[in-house]
Amino acid sequence: MVAAAEKHLTGLAEWYKPTAGMFLWIHVKVLKDVRHLVTEECIRRGVLFVTGHAYIVKQDVPCPYLRASFSLPTLQEIDEGMARLADAIREEMKTEGTAKRAKLRCCSVTEQIEEESTHSRASLQLLRQASDGFLSRPLRGLSGT
């Protein structure tokens, strides 16, 4: 499995050669979180992994780790699985980049709205200050003076 990871995942992920057990832990260094990668992209490609979320207390925090089993698949299946994982990571990178760009666009629109709102608040405050002076003066005939 390590040879297949080196072949397909170099530059996308990192891992340590396990000294025992039946799993390879993979850190996908090009993604902040692998939940969508594992639960959507990999499944769509017919490969199964376990997200690192399954092993942490706080489920809502991003986790870039996944676990791959090498106890049952053949060497050919492992190689194909790592190739599919690499494809899924590349696709997820595109999606994540698109999401970041959309977030930036959203933020710039939000900033514009906030800026306009700040100007509106400033105008409203000036209006209040002007009206306070006017309304604080007694009106003839209504105040008895």
Q: What is the pLDDT of residues 55-78, one digit of tens each?
A: 999 888 999 999 999 999 999 999
**pLDDT at residue 95, rounded to an integer:** 85
Is residue 29 within 8 Å of residue 14, measured between CB atoms? yes
More confident site: 137 or 72: 72
H/E segment holding residue 85: helix 75-136
CA–CA separation, 130 and 7 (whole Å): 72
Domain assignment present for 110: no
Is residue 50 within 8 Å of residue 38, measured between CB atoms? yes
**pLDDT at residue 136, rounded to an integer:** 45
**pLDDT at residue 115, rounded to an integer:** 52
Structural domain count of the chain: 1
CA 75, distance to chain mean position in Å, is: 33
The amino acid that residue 137 corresponds to is R
Domain assignment present for 108: no
The model scores a pTM over 0.75 = no
Alpha-carbon torsion (31, 36, 41, 46), positive or negative: positive
Average pLDDT over residues 104-131: 53
**pLDDT at residue 20, rounded to an integer:** 92
Domain assignment present for 25: yes
Structural domain harbouring 54 = 2-97
Average pLDDT over residues 109-138: 52
